[in-house]
Structures are given as structure tokens and as C-alpha cells.
Amino acid sequence: MVELIIEKKFIKQFENKYPLIHREAIRNANELKEEGEIIHLVDSSQKFIAKGYYGNQNKGLGWVLTHNPDEEINVSFFRSKILSAINKRKGFYDDPQTTAFRLFNGEGDGIGGLTIDYYDGHYLINWYSDGIYSFKNLVVTVLEEYGECKSIYEKKRFDTKGKYIDDDDFVSGERAEFPLIIKENGMNFAVDLNDGAMTGIFLDQRDVRRAIRDRYAKGKHVLNTFSYTGAFSVAAALGGAKKTSSVDLAKRSEPKTMEQLSLNDIDIEKQDLYVMDVYSYFKYAKRHDLKYDMVVLDPPSFARSKKKTFSSAKDYPSLITNSVEITKSNGIIIASTNNASFGMDQFKKMVDKGFKEAGQAYRIKEEFGLPRDFTVHKLYKPSNYLKVLVIEKIAK
Ligand code: SAH
């Protein structure tokens, strides 16, 4: 156990249950030794304020776990947090049309640095620091106790000897057969929990996929950029899109997208796939005078390609400008970002800048944030990272 003294001006914040132990709040951070050790946050007269653990993330030094000085950080602690998260998601367990969701969402469910996703009885744990990883046995014990656990996989999203993800992410239970087919609002998706950092689907876009299928896609030609495994194209095609065109730089996106489309009995002949840089595709589309009824933009926060480095914070306005130029008048642009370093207000400014540059008027029709299984901590703004805008081009 290590006692860390909070700088005076941050005391109120921690008393109010702010969850992140950030470096500038701590006077004696040099006393931290081993990741996973328990931290007592105290004021300068050693009055107890909160208890947490040491785990280095780019965000900070660790997370607060409790404000009760008598609460031990042991298997009972993890059991109570995880069971209460499970209870909050009973509706998902009971819904046969949706068999994958976030079961435990870090600080939003009381333990920063840890997320657990549920894929039809198989659990995927994401560890965001060596510190939280030191509690692995406790977390695994709790999940195994809970009857419906077929298997457990993990992603170590912190650098262990220069490597982020192991070659084998299997932890316990009976190995699943991949691809595993999960359902989301009746749509089928193939996932693989043991194939690198990503699983094949981003569960946080569930509400957006549903809206695209149920309300936006009918009769439209949809351009899906940064399409990955084509989940938005699947939703659009099932919603009656005339055609979908998916663009992603990664070669694996092509077979993966074919797989997702076929799993949903979608006519592959009517869907186009391009393994291509999005900016090259914009040029191609302009040269051939292609116009879309709807363009979906869902770039990563950062990406390095041969030609350049993409950063959503810097490049979003230009993505919008390019998209506007290839969207039909009265068409729709769905702009999404998972960049936690800015909020919705700033995102709207980037979108506005992009439309101004194109000299185009627009109207925001709808906004999305995280779905309800991605519980956020209301005092820690970056936990609410997802921002999605449905924007309509309007005639001037
Ligand atoms: N929209 C997807 C998720 C996107 S993940 C979904 O809903 O499932 C980000 C994707 O962007 C990755 O598949 C990556 O290969 C792709 N990507 C990154 N930079 C790119 C670029 N410059 N052009 C095209 N695709 C890019």
C-alpha cells in the first residue's frame, strides 16, 4: 500500500468522486513502485479520501476504486462491481435478437482500466494497464462463477515487452470456434476474439447501425468509408439500400466484408468493395462524377498509411468537405468519431468548418452518443467518447 498526498486544489474533486488519479494531482508520485499496488489518497494531514490502484495509462496513474476506508480490494470487491454491472444489463441477456454487448465499462461501472464484452456467452476482457492486469485472477474467478461463461479471452492493451496483443488471447473455459456468429437487433455478425486487437465489430455503434437500417437506408446508394468489416453496409443493405460501396485501406476488409454480407443473405453482386485510401477514393469518385445519397464517415482517431498520417482532430473538416462534394443535394452524411480528446461541441465545429469550406448549407437531423451498455462516468468526460451526427445537405 502506498499513501499519495493530493495537492490541495484537487481535494474537492476526489471528494466528489472523480475517478482518475492524474499525475498533476499528486505530490509524491515518485513513491509509486509496483503497478497494481493499492493507493490511499490522503490530504496533507493524512486524512483518508479514497482508495484506488496504481496502473499507468496515458490518461493517468491509476483509478479510484472506493471511498470507504474499510473496503478491501479483494474478490468480493470485484464480484460486487461485476454483478451489479451484469444486473444493469439484464435486458441484454434476455434479448435473443442481440447477443453481444458491453458487460462492464471501466470507470463507468466502478473500475477504470477494465472492460468486459459479452459475445454470446464468451467473454472478452480488455486490460488497459499492467496494474489492472495484476487483478486478473480475481476478475476471471468472478466471471467463471457466473454460470453462463463458455470461455474467456483477453486483450492486453498495454505494452508488454514492446507488444500489445499476444498471439494467443485465450484465458479459460472451452475454446470457441471462430468465427463466432453473434446477433445484433436481428443482424448477424461474424467475430473472432483471438485475432489481433479488433474482433470484427465495434459494439458501440449498435444504435447507429439500427437507425441506418430502420430509418435512413431505404432506396439509397450508400458510401461507407473506413468500412472495416462493413458493418454499416450490412445495416444499410438490410434496410433496403439500393447499393452499398465500402472503402477501406486494409486488404483484410474485403473478405471480412464479404463474410458479413453473406451471413445476412445480402446479394453481394449489388455491393461494391474497394481496398483503397479514402482520399484516393474521393478523387476517383469526383473524376467519375459519382454521387451518393448517403455517405458514412467513421475514421479511426489516428492512422498511419504510407502516404500520410491521418488524425481525426486535424483532418475531420477535410473529410466533410470531400464528402459534401460527392453527396447528392438533400443527401445525408453520417459523421462519427471515437476521439476522446474532444467533445460534441468541438466536433460540431469541425463539421461546420468542413461544410463552410464546401460552401454548403446543412442541418443536423440527429445525434448519437454511446449506447446504454457503455456506461459513462459523469465526472470523467472522456469516457463519453463516441459522437455521431446525422447531417442533411440542404439547398441554399
Ligand atoms: N466503420 C467501421 C470501423 C472503422 S475502424 C465499423 O463500423 O465497423 C477504422 C478503419 O479505417 C480500419 O479498418 C482501417 O483499416 C481503416 N482506415 C484507416 N485509414 C484509412 C484510410 N486512409 N483510408 C481508408 N481506410 C482507412
What's the DSSP call for residue 106?
Answer: G
**Is 193 within the bounds of a domain?**
no
Distance 173 CA to ligand 1 centre (A): 32
CA-nearest of 343, 346, 353, 319 to 333 is 319
Domain CATH code at residue 93:
3.30.750.80
Q: Which atom of ligand 1 is nearest to the CA of 228?
A: 13
Q: Dig out the grid coordinates for 19 from the structure.
A: 475517478
Q: Which atom of ligand 1 is nearest to the CA of 280?
A: 23
Q: Are residues 227 and 137 in the same domain?
A: no
**Is 316 within the bounds of a domain?**
yes
Domain CATH code at residue 297:
3.40.50.150
Percent of the chain with pLDDT over 90: 94
Distance 335 CA to ligand 1 centre (A): 13
Give 111-151 pLDDT, tens digit per residue.
999 999 999 999 999 999 999 999 999 999 999 998 789 99
Distance CA 105, CA 82 (A): 10
Contacts of 378 (CB under 8 A, 6+ apart): none
* 96-100, 143-147, 342-346, 355-359: the lowest-pLDDT one: 143-147
Contact 354, 318 (CB under 8 A): yes
Nearest CA to ligand 1 atom 18: 303
**Is 192 within the bounds of a domain?**
no
CA-nearest of 120, 117, 114, 115 to 93 is 120
For a substitution probing ligand 1, which of 195, 228, 295, 388 has the most ligand atoms within 8 Å of its CB? Answer: 228
Nearest CA to ligand 1 atom 3: 228
Beta bridge partners of 156: 127
pLDDT above 80: residue 307: no
pLDDT above 80: residue 305: no
Q: Are residues 149 and 283 in the same domain?
A: no
Distance of CA 373 to the CA centre of its chain: 12
Distance 105 CA to ligand 1 centre (A): 23
Beta bridge partners of 190: 181
* 263-267, 273-277, 304-308: the lowest-pLDDT one: 304-308
pLDDT above 90: residue 59: no
- Residues having CB within 6 Å of any atom of ligand 1: 202, 205, 226-229, 231-232, 247-250, 253, 277-278, 298, 300, 303, 305, 310
- Phi then psi for residue 356, to 5 deg, are -60, -45
Distance 262 CA to ligand 1 centre (A): 20
Determine how many CB atoms are found less than 10 A away from the CB of residue 48.
13
pLDDT above 80: residue 396: no
Q: Are residues 33 and 92 in the same domain?
A: no
Domain CATH code at residue 57:
2.30.130.10
Q: Dig out the grid coordinates for 386 from the structure.
A: 463516441
**Is 131 within the bounds of a domain?**
yes
Q: Are residues 181 and 223 in the same domain?
A: no
Q: Are residues 378 and 316 in the same domain?
A: yes
Q: Last residue of a domain, which of 160, 185, 210?
A: 185
Give 196-248 pLDDT, tens digit per residue.
999 999 999 999 999 999 999 999 999 999 999 999 999 999 999 999 999 99
Q: Last residue of a domain, which of 132, 160, 185?
A: 185
Residue 164: predicted pLDDT = 80
Nearest CA to ligand 1 atom 15: 250
Contact 374, 85 (CB under 8 A): no
For a substitution probing ligand 1, which of 227, 245, 248 has the most ligand atoms within 8 Å of its CB? Answer: 248
**Is 90 within the bounds of a domain?**
yes
Place of cell 444499410: 236
CA-nearest of 160, 154, 170, 161 to 130 is 160
What's the DSSP call for residue 177?
Answer: P
Alpha-carbon radius of gyration of the chain: 23
- pLDDT grade for 259, boundaries at 50, 70 and 90: very high
pLDDT averaged over the chain?
Answer: 96
* 33-37, 56-60, 316-320, 376-380: the lowest-pLDDT one: 56-60
Q: Which domain holds residue 249?
A: 202-393
Q: Are residues 126 and 166 in the same domain?
A: yes
**Is 371 within the bounds of a domain?**
yes
pLDDT above 90: residue 83: yes
Tell me the average pLDDT across 14-29.
97
Counted domains in the chain: 3
pLDDT above 80: residue 171: yes
DSSP string, 209-259: HHHIIIII-TT-EEEEES-TTTHHHHHHHHTT-SEEEEEES-TTHHHHHHH
Tell me the average pLDDT across 244-260.
98
Q: pTM for the complete prediction?
A: 0.97
Q: Are residues 84 and 213 in the same domain?
A: no
To 5 degrees, how large is the angle CA 128–CA 133–CA 139? 110
Tell me the average pLDDT across 93-108.
97
What's the DSSP call for residue 6?
Answer: B
Q: What is the pairing mode between strands 122-127 and 151-156?
A: parallel
Q: Are residues 123 and 224 in the same domain?
A: no
Contact 224, 213 (CB under 8 A): no
Distance CA 292, CA 259 (A): 24
Q: Are residues 131 and 278 in the same domain?
A: no
**Is 197 within the bounds of a domain?**
no
Residue 308: predicted pLDDT = 82
Distance CA 236, CA 215 (A): 10
Q: Are residues 364 and 236 in the same domain?
A: yes
Nearest CA to ligand 1 atom 11: 226
Distance 176 CA to ligand 1 centre (A): 27
**Is 28 within the bounds of a domain?**
yes
Residue 159 or 72, more confident: 72
Q: Last residue of a domain, which of 185, 210, 228?
A: 185
Q: Are residues 291 and 374 in the same domain?
A: yes
Q: Which atom of ligand 1 is nearest to the CA of 336?
A: 1
- pLDDT grade for 165, boundaries at 50, 70 and 90: confident
Place of cell 447528392: 328
Length of the chain: 396
Q: Are residues 252 and 359 in the same domain?
A: yes
